[in-house]
Amino acid sequence: MDSTQLKDFLNRKEKQYNNRDFIDSDPVQIPHLFTNKEDIEIAGFLAATISWGKRPMIIKNCLQMMNLLGQAPYDFVMHHTEEDLE
């Protein structure tokens, strides 16, 4: 594949995946729930750790995880107590 073909391929993939229709049905939507850079990074990491299987179930479990973290993953990671971990 030469550089022109690679550029065309990457442009097609960007159009395929970087759009609202794809994001709304994929676990990548979880980091998009946040605006704080640290929350985005933690939410993306946690979503990736459980991203195996059917996308609707992954999304459901990710949303449940974010609820358990109080919709503030960075704050939870930085300030959790032993009781929170139970």
Report yes or no on whether pTM surpasses 0.85.
Answer: no
Instruction: Note the pLDDT tens digit of each residue in 15-59.
Output: 999 888 888 899 999 999 999 999 999 999 999 999 998 999 999
- Domains identified in the chain, total number: 1
Instruction: Note the pLDDT tens digit of each residue in 36-47.
Output: 999 999 999 999
Q: Which residues span the domain enclosing 18?
A: 3-85
Structure tokens at 42: 């933690």
C-alpha–C-alpha distance, residues 6 and 47, integer Å: 29
**Do the beta carbons of residue 68 and residue 57 sit within 8 Å?**
no
C-alpha–C-alpha distance, residues 69 and 76, integer Å: 6
* pLDDT score of 5: 96
Residue whose tokens read 């996308």: 55
Widest CA span in the chain: 56
Instruction: Note the pLDDT tens digit of each residue in 68-84.
Output: 999 999 999 999 999 98
